[in-house]
Amino acid sequence: MCGIVGYVGEEDAARVLVDGLRRLEYRGYDSAGVAVHAPSGRVEVRRAVGKLRELERALEAAPVHGKVGIGHTRWATHGRPSEVNAHPHVAGHIAVVHNGIIENHLALKQALISRGATIASDTDTELVAHMIAEEGAEDADLETCVRRALNKLEGAYAIAVLSDREPGKVVVAKSSSPLVLGLGEGEMFCASDIPALLPYTRRMIFLEDGEMAVLTAQSVEITTLAGEPVERDPVTIDWSPVMAEKAGYKHFMLKEIFEQPRALEDTLRGRLDREAGDIHSSEIGLSEEDARSIQRVVLLACGTSHHAALAGRYYIESLARVPTVVELASEFRGRGAVIGEGDLVVAVSQSGETLDTLMAAREAKQAGAKLLAIANVIGSAIPRLADATFYTHAGPEIGVASTKCFTTQLANVLMLGLWLGRRRNTLPEERAAELVEALAHLPQQMEQVLVGTRQLVANIARHHVEARDALFLGRGLNFPIALEGALKLKEISYVHAEGYAAGEMKHGPIALIDGHMPVFVLAPRDSSFERSIGNLEEARAREAQVVAVATEGDEAVRAVADDLIEVPAVLEPLYPLLTVLPLQLYAYYVADFKGTDVDQPRNLAKTVTVE
Ligand code: M6R
């Protein structure tokens, strides 16, 4: 979750680095720093705790000019947030920025101290700087020092390194943590993620695990850690820089909520076969034989992606009649789960880099399962591991709270269910055609819900802004949506919220309900409708403030709810993509009225690359 940026060229490096780091703010951070090759021939470092503004102040107070540098935003993993723990870390002639965790740091630290090193910080990264510096015999170039040091490290890292002795060069390397190289004209870049580089270049190369690269203004040379040359063509990234900016919205999250119709359109584009009532096989990446032969589907994910996976179970079981289980990736890992040939493992992850999901997927693949990734970030770690990837194409999601990536994940798991159902002869052609047609119209209906309910939801949020708790109830496909509504509210507004399967309410949570509690009941006209209304009545009888999300024109619900949020009538499997929208807006407005940091909520990071 730390952010790395590196630059070699003709521009003022500190300016390019801070600009790139700002575009990585969504990853979450508590401190920041840059190291620049100064005209004096020395590498100079500036660091600050807090937001990038603090780093800018440090640079204003003590400017450092140069054309080569590395920068970093840190999210603490070893050692509290402080200036001394902020990156870059320096040892002798070496400066290093690092994203990841060095597992053998205790042993390395003891060994370094025993050899006379003085360690200033509590970080594992400083040890990396010392290790590289130790390799620095006069005849060894920087890449050789880095290579030798990395062979002694265990764990996850993406690093960028400068040396006083080689002013025109940045050396980078990667294992498990993401790193992308940007190719410019007479300038080269590296970064943890694409948005940092978009204003400068669209030509990018994704470094693979166990690879390193030497960047100069004119060249990028990639090798393995063993020193073998690697040839890789750059890919062209078509995300525009504007897509990564707020486009006039107060927060990225609000912008991304309103981008959902467009994001869904992009996700559906080229995948729906409206004539045949099917999903194009080439888009899923699995073979027809795979579809017929799998005996079980196992969905692995964390957080919001886990909620999409829960909806995926409903889709895959009902449309394709394949036994399906959903696992929290963190609980799947290392428990010796029974998995292997005949299983299709679907790893769902916006970032494609969540460590628990990556490790769980790796474990399943090693056991012989087929691995399909559903991810948003092209070329990220989970797609690279997978046998096939079904991308969501939602574009960059900057807000820490996932919104457009959730609804596009829902679309993908639904399309997967459809595709499997058609090939397993469990889904009649007419029903599939109906669903495909309905999906094609969904972006427009999303727009209608977002535009039509925004003010109402803002008013409801204003009314409940002081509520200390909230309850979200849903059945069937709307149960994952209840979980998601509660998660959104918790993570950005810090209000305690519970998402429950409505049928479970009377088994415990009903005791929480009193006249101060807003209770959201998801009650569209689906096969659970009557029972959902029963739950709504039970909440009302305990004086809860009931907010119903129901089908447009449903007067029966209007009569029993304190507030009614309407969504258009759609086929049952499509309701979750609409009912979640007002819940996202509700969480957003409660947070905004409370004045919390909506896009970077406390303690959270966009991409969780630690256990
Ligand atoms: O990148 P991933 O989808 O793998 O991330 C999983 C979770 O960390 C993520 O969904 C998290 O729960 C979000 N902050 C939710 O809004």
CATH, residue 123: 3.60.20.10
Band of the pLDDT at 57, cuts 50, 70, 90? very high
Q: Work out the burial of residue 55: count CB atoms within 10 Å of its CB; fewer than 13 is exposed, 13-18 middle, 19 or more buried.
A: buried
List the residue whose alpha carbon is closest to atom 12 of ligand 1: 303
Pick the atom of ligand 1 nearest to 354's CA.
Answer: 4
Do 304 and 346 have their domain in common?
Answer: yes
> Domain ends where: 227, 242, 257?
242
List the residue whose alpha carbon is closest to atom 8 of ligand 1: 303
Pick from 180, 233, 100, 599: which is nearest to 378 by CA? 180
Specify if 435 maps to a domain.
no
pLDDT over 70 (residue 248): no
Do 156 and 58 have their domain in common?
Answer: yes
pLDDT over 80 (residue 343): yes
> Domain ends where: 193, 212, 242?
242
The reply to whether ligand 1 has any atom less than 6 angstroms from the CB of 304 is: yes
Do 422 and 538 have their domain in common?
Answer: no
- Ligand 1 centroid to Cα of residue 273, in Å, is 30
- Ligand 1 centroid to Cα of residue 354, in Å, is 8
Do 254 and 230 have their domain in common?
Answer: no
- Ligand 1 centroid to Cα of residue 440, in Å, is 26
Q: Which of 147-151, 212-216, 246-250, 282-286 has the lowest mean pLDDT?
A: 246-250
The reply to whether ligand 1 has any atom less than 6 angstroms from the CB of 609 is: no
Do 316 and 384 have their domain in common?
Answer: yes
Do 397 and 377 have their domain in common?
Answer: yes
Residue to mutate, 350, 374, 600, ligand 1, most ligand atoms under 8 Å from C-beta: 350
- Ligand 1 centroid to Cα of residue 304, in Å, is 5
- Ligand 1 centroid to Cα of residue 605, in Å, is 9
Q: What share of the chain is helix, strand, coil (3-state, %, to 5)?
A: 40, 25, 35
pLDDT over 60 (residue 247): no
The reply to whether ligand 1 has any atom less than 6 angstroms from the CB of 408 is: no
Q: Report pLDDT digits (tens) over 537-573.
A: 999 988 999 999 999 999 999 999 999 999 999 999 9
| Confidence (pLDDT) at 242 | 60
Q: Is the peptide bond before 88 cis (omega within 30 degrees of 0)?
A: yes
What's the structural domain count of the chain? Answer: 3
The reply to whether ligand 1 has any atom less than 6 angstroms from the CB of 505 is: no
Residue to mutate, 302, 356, 377, ligand 1, most ligand atoms under 8 Å from C-beta: 302
Distance of CA 346 to the CA centre of its chain: 16
pLDDT over 80 (residue 139): no
- Ligand 1 centroid to Cα of residue 140, in Å, is 42
Specify if 497 maps to a domain.
yes
Do 255 and 349 have their domain in common?
Answer: yes
List the residue whose alpha carbon is closest to atom 14 of ligand 1: 401
Region 575-593: mean pLDDT is 98
Pick the atom of ligand 1 nearest to 402's CA.
Answer: 16
pLDDT over 60 (residue 585): yes
Residues 6 or more apart from 460 whose CB is under 8 A from it? Answer: 547, 563, 565, 586
- Ligand 1 centroid to Cα of residue 401, in Å, is 7
The reply to whether ligand 1 has any atom less than 6 angstroms from the CB of 182 is: no
Specify if 434 maps to a domain.
no
CB count in 10 Å sphere of residue 591: 26
DSSP, collapsed to helix, strand or coil, labels residue 514 as coil
Pick from 583, 514, 505, 516: which is nearest to 542 by CA? 514
pLDDT over 70 (residue 28): no
- Ligand 1 centroid to Cα of residue 481, in Å, is 15
Q: What percent of the chain has pLDDT over 70?
A: 98
Report if pTM > 0.85. Answer: no
List the residue whose alpha carbon is closest to atom 16 of ligand 1: 401
Q: How are beta strands 343-349 and 370-375 bridged, if at all? A: parallel
CATH of the domain at 530: 3.40.50.10490
Specify if 562 maps to a domain.
yes
pLDDT over 60 (residue 244): no
Specify if 611 maps to a domain.
no
Band of the pLDDT at 477, cuts 50, 70, 90? very high
The reply to whether ligand 1 has any atom less than 6 angstroms from the CB of 1 is: no
- Ligand 1 centroid to Cα of residue 553, in Å, is 34
The reply to whether ligand 1 has any atom less than 6 angstroms from the CB of 303 is: yes
Pick the atom of ligand 1 nearest to 604's CA.
Answer: 14
Do 301 and 352 have their domain in common?
Answer: yes
Q: How are beta strands 388-389 and 469-474 bridged, if at all? A: unpaired
d(CA 97, CA 119): 16
The reply to whether ligand 1 has any atom less than 6 angstroms from the CB of 493 is: no
Region 413-422: mean pLDDT is 98
The answer to whether 245 touches 251, Cβ cutoff 8 Å, is no
The reply to whether ligand 1 has any atom less than 6 angstroms from the CB of 607 is: yes
The reply to whether ligand 1 has any atom less than 6 angstroms from the CB of 302 is: yes
The reply to whether ligand 1 has any atom less than 6 angstroms from the CB of 600 is: no
| Confidence (pLDDT) at 243 | 61
Pick the atom of ligand 1 nearest to 375's CA.
Answer: 3
- Ligand 1 centroid to Cα of residue 305, in Å, is 6
Residues 6 or more apart from 453 whose CB is under 8 A from it? Answer: 565, 566, 567, 581, 582, 585
The reply to whether ligand 1 has any atom less than 6 angstroms from the CB of 349 is: yes
List the residue whose alpha carbon is closest to atom 7 of ligand 1: 303
Give the residue numbers spanning the domain of 465: 443-600
Residues marked as catalytic? 2, 606
Band of the pLDDT at 605, cuts 50, 70, 90? confident
Pick the atom of ligand 1 nearest to 606's CA.
Answer: 14
- Ligand 1 centroid to Cα of residue 223, in Å, is 32
Specify if 263 maps to a domain.
yes
The answer to whether 509 touches 498, Cβ cutoff 8 Å, is yes
Do 345 and 410 have their domain in common?
Answer: yes
Q: Report pLDDT digits (tens) over 175-189.
A: 988 899 999 999 999
Do 59 and 208 have their domain in common?
Answer: yes
The reply to whether ligand 1 has any atom less than 6 angstroms from the CB of 162 is: no
The reply to whether ligand 1 has any atom less than 6 angstroms from the CB of 401 is: yes
> Domain ends where: 397, 427, 457?
427
Do 223 and 286 have their domain in common?
Answer: no
In which residue are the tokens 């750059």 written?
A: 234
List the residue whose alpha carbon is closest to atom 9 of ligand 1: 303
Specify if 396 maps to a domain.
yes
The reply to whether ligand 1 has any atom less than 6 angstroms from the CB of 305 is: yes
Do 388 and 270 have their domain in common?
Answer: yes
d(CA 59, CA 89): 17
The reply to whether ligand 1 has any atom less than 6 angstroms from the CB of 351 is: yes
Q: What percent of the chain has pLDDT over 90?
A: 83
